[in-house]
Amino acid sequence: MNDKDMVRLSKRLSNWLRHHPEAIGLDLDTAGWVPVDALLRQAAAHGKGFTRAQLDLVVERNNKRRFEFDDAGTAIRARQGHSIPVRLGYAAAEPPAVLYHGTTTRTLPLILAEGLRPMRRHAVHLSADTDTAQAVGTRHGTPVILTVDAAAMHRDGHEFAVTGNGVWLVSSVEPRYLQPLNSSG
């Protein structure tokens, strides 16, 4: 499987496991899990088939580590980013003092006025490093990195969770906890 095929399969999995399981007739449970055999069967039935080995490769090598298998390796789900109702069940965790969010110069004024909201997703996604935030912002335009005073938010009662791929989740971030990082590109 070459890189292009891996990206293509990763995008399909993201669509099916995060947004449109009905597109290929998947029935996710309340925590977003679907049996691997059902995923393979339904993808093949819709002309988008792939093997278990290819699925394993995408889960293992996807640079964003978007997917995870259950402990038995018989079910799969997306770790975060759902626009469909799921309860991922991540335990509350104490965040590092500062987290980061990547955005664009175009959206910065609105974010500084209204804060970060989950939009069509279940939670706001934050990262523990500036490189990840930079990459996120770059996908949509000229990037800006925001620092999030996670320590103050946590002290003020905001609940954080962290996924298996290191994405920090929180319901929202008020403007008072945000500060643009001096970013020159």
89-101 exposure pattern, b = at least 16 Cβ within 10 A, e = fewer: ebeeeebbebbbb
CA–CA separation, 68 vs 139, rounded Å?
23
Please give the C-alpha separations between residue 5 and each of 44, 62, 95, 166, 184, in angstroms, as whole numbers. Answer: 16, 11, 35, 25, 34
Average pLDDT for residues 128-135, to the nearest whole number? Answer: 93
Residue-range domains of the chain with CATH: 3-78 (1.10.10.970), 98-180 (3.20.170.30)
In percent, the amount of the chain with pLDDT more than 90 equals 76
Structure tokens at 51: 């093997």
Judge whether residue 132 has pLDDT over 70: yes
pTM: 0.77
Torsion of CA 130, 132, 133, 136, to 10 degrees: 160
Average pLDDT for residues 130-154, to the nearest whole number? Answer: 93
Mean pLDDT of the chain: 93
| Tens digit of each residue's pLDDT (9 = 90 or more) over 88-121 | 888 899 999 999 999 999 999 999 999 999 887 7
Judge whether residue 57 has pLDDT over 70: yes
pLDDT of amino acid 183: 46
Structure tokens at 70: 């259950």
Structure tokens at 102: 């990547």
Structure tokens at 111: 């974010």
Judge whether residue 182 has pLDDT over 70: no
